[in-house]
Chains A and B, each alone.
Chain A
Amino acid sequence: MVWPNRYSSLWHMIAAPVVWAVHFCAVYGGTALVCARMDAPGLARIGIAAASVVALGLIWWIGRRAWRQWDYASRANRTHGGPRAEDRREFLGHSAWLLAIVSAIGVIFVSLPALFIESCL
């Protein structure tokens, strides 16, 4: 299926932060539930690891598509400030790529505690 607004939708730009937000809620909510109901820190840590791998995979995929949309490699002129569809597409791709980097850092920072803290306390 071809999405008619493929290159102008803002959703493509914020897809990576959305993954980060969902990961954040899943990790915090899931850990709270597992620790309160089962007191199983091991299970919580495995869950956080799994959620982080999935989130980072999705962000990698989104970031790769954004990189292509930005079309950084094939252009000598790296600015995209003009009022043309091409500029708009590349600007959104550029922004999405940067947001993917921030989201990946966010996901890593959110899951780091599980690496060091082995208990529910």
Chain B
Amino acid sequence: MKIGIALALTVVLASCEGRQSVLSPAGRDAEVLANLFWWMLGGAVVLWLFVNGLMLYFSRIRRKRHSLRVAQWFIFMCGVVLPTTVLAGLLIFALREMPQQREPGEGLTLRVTGESWWWRVEYWPDGADEPVTTANEIRLPAGSRSEIELAANGVIHSFWIPALGGKTDMIPGRVNRMSLEPTAPGTYRGQCAEFCGLSHAHMALEAVVMAPEEFERWLGAEARDARAPEGAEAKRGKQLFLSQGCGGCHTVRGTPATARVGPDLTHLGGRKSLAAGMLPMDRQSLVGWLSAPESIKPGVNMPGYDHLPPADLQALAAYLEGLT
């Protein structure tokens, strides 16, 4: 019995750690939320003990008649004064934090659009004329506040990276804004937090927080055209990519593939995950995804290419993996 409880507790507490937890904050905004959570949890425990303690005291220990005056005073203090004071305190604490959470960014603006079921990501550095486009992964510089514009295509989504801050809905036809100030470099996980269709649960994203100089280097590389394929297999993969019509939906900058229906693949191989946080970025996952995307993401718009011979799928995967 005791071992069972200990095991259950271990499992529950272990889930508080990790890269997708509001209880392991890695940003200024998430710290405030976690702080508020712990204070409210502590307050709730104290109140619970107080109420149940009183119940025990008056029903078991001190069982005698009380005067109406004491009873009325008690109801007024604990039923009116205490809740008003506690709620006012919580309200004022939250309101004081709100302006900072809504502060404009300090230069970098990201525009993230919720698609079915992936994320279109555009980086607009200060003064840029055109964005650097990528997908399913956001990268942010640590120690400064970045502006994030949120849009949606077709249905409502919600953008949430628990370790970095609160969630904000993405609504078709309008642009919502939020800003995030990550503090600790690392890789975190975000998740669509508003039911958006068949593969809602399979719509995640990687959020990589980098040191500022490192971020600048990365963004510079991300803005460049795709790397040319190296090796015979990857070269054949590029030809297959173009001849199989992949460019009808995807962009690989620097090639004839320029469509914007699906995710931009210019630097696909450099991303941490495949299929919006579902698979690791490696050869085997790429082959699996190309041959049967529906088995990984039900309802996905991309058709499967399992009619291609395995050697062709390997070649395509080799090309895509090399797009770092």
> Is the beta-carbon distance between B98 and A109 smaller than 8 angstroms?
no
> Is the beta-carbon distance between A117 and B99 smaller than 8 angstroms?
yes
B92 within 8 A of A: yes
Q: Shortest CB–CB separation between residue A45 and chain B, in angstroms? A: 13
> Is the beta-carbon distance between B91 and A115 smaller than 8 angstroms?
no
> Is the beta-carbon distance between B95 and A119 smaller than 8 angstroms?
no
> Is the beta-carbon distance between B91 and A119 smaller than 8 angstroms?
no
* Chain A binding surface SS class: helix
A118 within 8 A of B: yes
A22 within 8 A of B: no
B239 within 8 A of A: no
Known contacts A101-B80, A105-B84, A119-B102; is-contact A113 B95 (Cβ 8 Å): yes
Q: Shortest CB–CB separation between residue B81 and chain A, in angstroms? A: 11
- Report the number of A-B residue pairs with Cβ-Cβ less than 8 Å: 26
Within the assembled complex, what's the spacing in Å between the Cα atoms of A110 and B301?
A: 46
Within the assembled complex, what's the spacing in Å between the Cα atoms of A101 and B76?
A: 12
B88 within 8 A of A: yes
- Among candidates A78, A101, A105, A116, residue contacting B99 with C-beta atoms closer than 8 Å: A116
B177 within 8 A of A: yes
B96 within 8 A of A: yes
Q: Hey, which chain A residues are within 8 Å of B80, CB to CB?
A: 101
Within the assembled complex, what's the spacing in Å between the Cα atoms of A116 and B99?
A: 8
Within the assembled complex, what's the spacing in Å between the Cα atoms of A117 and B95?
A: 7
Q: Hey, which chain B residues are within 8 Å of A118, CB to CB?
A: 99
- Among candidates B68, B72, B92, residue contacting A112 with C-beta atoms closer than 8 Å: B92
Q: Hey, which chain B residues are within 8 Å of A105, CB to CB?
A: 84
Question: Which of B's residues lie within 8 Å of A, judged by CB?
Answer: 68, 72, 80, 84, 87-88, 91-92, 95-96, 98-99, 102, 177
Q: A109-B87, A112-B91, A117-B99 are in contact. List 13 more A-B contacts (CB 8 A).
A: A78-B68, A109-B91, A112-B92, A113-B95, A115-B95, A116-B95, A116-B96, A116-B98, A116-B99, A118-B99, A119-B102, A121-B102, A121-B177
